[in-house]
Structure 1
Amino acid sequence: MSHHRALDYDYPKIRFFIQEQEMIEYVLIDQIQEAFDQFNRYLYSTLTTTIKDNQTNDEYLIRLFNELHDHVDLFEQMNEQFLDFLQFQIDWTKQSKAVLDAFSHFQITVISSNIKHAERYLSFLFTLFTVPENSIHDFAHDTLQRLMFTVPLASTLLCPIAERYFPFMTKDKHIQVLYVENLLRSLNYLPIERLKFFEIILTKLLRMDVHASRQDILRTEERHVENEMVFTLEQSDDRMKHEQADKLDWLMFILFEYITKVSHKDVQTNGVITQRFPEYF
C-alpha cells in the first residue's frame, strides 16, 4: 500500500477552525503528527499560531478543548510537544473560568486515558502556584483536587514535583511566599501528604538558614543601623535587612501560622467528640 493511499483512510477528525487565507475546516491528527515527524512544520506551525491568535476568543478555545476532549485517544501517538504548547504558550491568567474549566476537563481526561501525561500536567499546575493571581490559584487547586480524585495513582508524583518546583532560595520573597502558601493550601484536600510536604518546606528553610549565618545577619543589621543614623528621614521597620533572613522569617511565620490553625482545629474537633462520646475517653 502506498504512502498516499494510507492517508485516504477514514481517520477520526478534529475541527481546529484554522483561519488563514483559506479556511481549513478539518485537520487530521495523524497528518499533524506526520508533518511534525518529517520536519515539515507548516501545518503544526499554522495550528499553534492560530491558537495563540485566538487565545482571547473564549468560544474558539472552548470549542477546541471540547473537540480534543472527545478524541483523547489520539494523543497516544501524537507528539507531546503540542500538549506542552497548550500549557505553556497560552496566557492562562487572561482566560475566563469557562475556558479554564474546559481545558481542565480535557487534560484530566487525557491523563485518565494515559497516566504518562500526569507528570506534565501536575508540573504545569505547580508552576501556577507562583503566579500572583488568585483566580489562577483557585483553578490550580480545583483541578488538582479533581485530578487526584479521578486518577489516584497520580498522587505518587506529587512530592517529587512539589520539591522540583519549589522556588530556588535566590528567587523573590513574594514568589517563595506564594508557593509555600499554595503548597499548604493543597493540604486541605491532600491531608495524606502533610508530613511529606512539611519535610519539603523544612528542608528548604534549613538551606536558607545555612545561607543566613548569624555573623552575616549581624553585619547587615549593623550597616543598616549606621545608614539610618546618616539618613534619619528614612522610616525604619522591623523586617530583617538580610535578604535570606527576611525570607526565612516570612516562610517560618506562614508555616507556624498554618500549624497553629490546624492544631486549633484539631483541638476543637477532639473537644466536640469528647463531649458527645465521653464514655470512649
Structure 2
Amino acid sequence: MSKKERSGRFNLRALLVQYKQGSHKDYDEFVNILSDPQTKAEDLRVYLRGIKENVTELNREFEDLVAVLLKLDWPHRELSVVREYQSLLVGLVCVHSYYLRASLRMLVKYFTPAINKSAPDTEVSMEIQQTNEAVFLNIHMVLKAILDSVPMSSTVLLPLLHDLFPFLGKAAYIQECYIRNLLQITTYLPSARQRILELVIDRMLKLDVRAPRQDIQETEGDEEDMEEGIVFDMDFEQDLTRDLENKDGCIFDRKRSDKPMTHREANILDVCMEMTLTYISNVCYTNGECNWEATKKLYREVLLVFDRLILPTHASCHVQFIMFYLCSTKLPICEGFIDYLWKKVQNPNTESVFRQAAVGYMGSLLSRAMFVPLSTVTACLDLMCEWIHLYLDNTSEEIVNADVSHHGPFYSVCQAVFYVFVFRNKEIFEWKKGHKWAEILNFQRIVTCRLNPLRVCLPVIVKMFSSISRMHQLAFCDTIIERNKRCILPVTSNGIGTSSVLTELDSYFPFDPYLLNRSGRFIIPLYREYKGSIEEDQELSDGEDDFLQEEQLSSTSESLPQSMSLSKTPKDFLHYGISPGFKHIQDIT
C-alpha cells in the first residue's frame, strides 16, 4: 500500500466504499499501517491528506479509524506531518462534532509531559525541555484553531482541563508544564480566564496547606544545594500564532533566580506562584507602565476567585499573596480590596467566621504592605474604631464576661486595630497631626469596656499595644492586663452536659512573612517587616520579625483554641453599612 500511496494511487474513498460493502481487508491493512510508529513521514503525510480530503465520510461507522488517528504521536513527528495532522483535526471536529471531546482530551493530555518515573523530581534535560516546547507549540496552535472554528468547544474544554490536572504527587516539572499551558490558553481564550485562574489557584491552595509554615522553616537549610528548577519558553511562530502572542509576545519571561525549596510541596508551590505572579505582572504592566483597563479586569476576576476559594481556606501561607501583589499594581485596586473586605466585616448576614477572616486580611494588608499609604491606614483605623464604638453603644451594659462565640467579629476588629497601630505607629507619630488624631480614636474606652478585648486578643499584640499606647499616653492597659492574668476565662455551654473554655482569638494573619525563594522576588520589595522602637525592644526579648513567631507564642499554645474552620463560601457580599468610600473606588466598579 505504501507504494500505491507514494505513487499517488492511494484512494481512501475506495477503501471506505469497500468497507461498507463488506470487504475489510484493505481497510484493516490501512489502519494497521497508519498506527505503525515506523511508518515513514512522507507516507504518513499523504495518508493524512487523503483522510482530510474524505473527512465528511468519517461518521460513527469509522470510529476505529478516528481512534487510531487520535492515538498517533503526531506532535513529535516531522513538521510536514504535524501541519497535515493539525489541518485534518480541525476539519474533523468541524464536520463531526461528536469527535470534539475526544479530540480535545487528546490535546490536553499533551500538556502533561512524560518524564522518568524512577526519578520524577530530578532535573529534566535541556533536550527534553526543547522537545516539549515544540510539542506545546503544536498543541496550542491547533487548539486555538479549534476554539476559533467550533463555538461550543470552550464549554467542552474547561471541564477537561479540570479532569486532566496532574495529581499532587506528580513532579514539579509536570505541574509547572500543565499550569503554564493553562495560563497560555487565556491569551487566546480570554473569556475562560477566570475559570482557568480558579483551577490554578485551587491547585496551589492544595499544595499550600500541605506545606505549613513550620514545616518549611524546619526543612529549609537541610540541603544546601538543590538543582535549579526547569524553565522553558513558549514563543509561537509568527505566521500561525500572531493572536497568541498579543502585541507584546509570550506572556512569560523565563528569568529564574534563587535556589529551589527543599520542602517538596513548597518547591512546587514556589514554581507555581512564580508563574502566576509573572502572569499577573505581564497582564498588568506594559513597558513598565500599569495598563489600567487590563488591571481592573484582572482584579475583578481574581477577586471572585479570592472570595470563593482563598478566603474560605484556612492555614494557607502563600497563595493569598496573589491578592497582595495585585493590590500593589495601583492604589485604587488596593483601596477597592480593602473596601470589599470592610463591607464583608460589617455585614451581619455574613457568617461570623468569614467576617473575622476578612478583618484579618484587612489588618494584615494595612500592616505589611509598603504600598499602602498612611492616609489609607488612618482612614481605615477611623472606620474600624468608629465601628467598635458604635458596637459598644449598642451592646447591653449587663455584659460582664468576654465571650468570643457571641462577639467574635468585635474582638477581631479590635485585634486588627491593635495590630495595625503597632506596625504603623512610627509613621503615625512622625505625622504632625498624628498624636492628636490618635487621641480621637479613644483607645481608653476600647480597652476598658466590659467586653474586655485585652483579655481575648493575642498576648503579644496586647503587650506591644500596651507599651506603645502607654508611651504616648493614649491608653493605660497594664492594670487591666494584670487583672486579666488573675482571671479565668468564662465557661459557656456548647450543648447538654458539655462545656469549653473560651481563650484567645485565632492567631492567623494572612500576610505573615513570605518564605518561598523564587517567587519571593515579587513580594519582598513590597513587604514591611516589623521594626520596633528602642522602648518597644525593652518590652520584648526578641526584636526580630515576625513578633508573632510561634516560639514567642509557645507559652500559651496549650490554651489556644483550634484554628477556625472556613469550610463554606459566602453566598454573596451585600453593600450596606459604613463603607470606607475611598475616592478611587468608583474607578474599578
Q: Which has the larger radius of gyration?
A: 2
Separation of aligned partners in 1, 2:101 and 2:226: 47
**Amino-acid identity (%):** 25
Superposed CA offset, 1:56-110 (max 9, x none)? 52321221111111211222133423323223243531332x2111111111111
Q: Which residue of 2 aligns with 1:28?
A: 15
RMSD: 3.2
Separation of aligned partners in 2, 1:213 and 1:35: 65
SS at match of 2:61: coil
- Range with greater deviation from structure 2 (125-134 or 139-148): 125-134
Q: Which residue of 2 aligns with 1:62?
A: 45
Q: Which residue of 2 aligns with 1:122?
A: 104
Counterpart contact for 1:56–1:95, Cα < 8 Å? no
Structure 2 spans left out of the alignment, 5+ residues? 114-128, 228-257, 295-586
Structure 1 spans left out of the alignment, 5+ residues? 1-16, 229-233, 272-280
Q: What are the residue-to-residue correspondences of 1:226-237 with 2, within 5 Å?
A: none
- 1:179 deviates by 1.1
Separation of aligned partners in 2, 1:80 and 1:33: 13
**TM-score, length-scaled by structure 2:** 0.37
Q: What are the residue-to-residue correspondences of 1:1-281 with 2, within 5 Å?
A: 17-18=1-2, 28-29=15-16, 32=19, 46-53=29-36, 57-90=40-73, 92-96=75-79, 98-131=80-113, 132=129, 133-221=132-220, 224=222, 238-265=259-286, 267-268=290-291
Higher helix share: 1
Counterpart contact for 2:19–2:27, Cα < 8 Å? yes
Q: Which residue of 1 aligns with 2:418?
A: none
- Range with greater deviation from structure 2 (193-202 or 118-127): 118-127
Which structure exhibits the higher relative contact order, with contacts defined as CA atoms closer than 8 Å and separated by 6 or more residues? 2
Separation of aligned partners in 1, 2:160 and 2:200: 13
Query: Which one-letter code corresponds to 2:159 in the other structure?
Result: P
- 1:267 deviates by 2.9
- Range with greater deviation from structure 2 (244-253 or 44-53): 44-53
- Range with greater deviation from structure 2 (72-81 or 103-112): 72-81
Cα 1:95/1:269, change in 2 over 3 Å: farther
Query: Which one-letter code corresponds to 1:256 in the other structure?
Result: L
Cα 1:220/1:58, change in 2 over 3 Å: same
- 1:140 deviates by 0.9
Counterpart contact for 1:128–1:140, Cα < 8 Å? yes
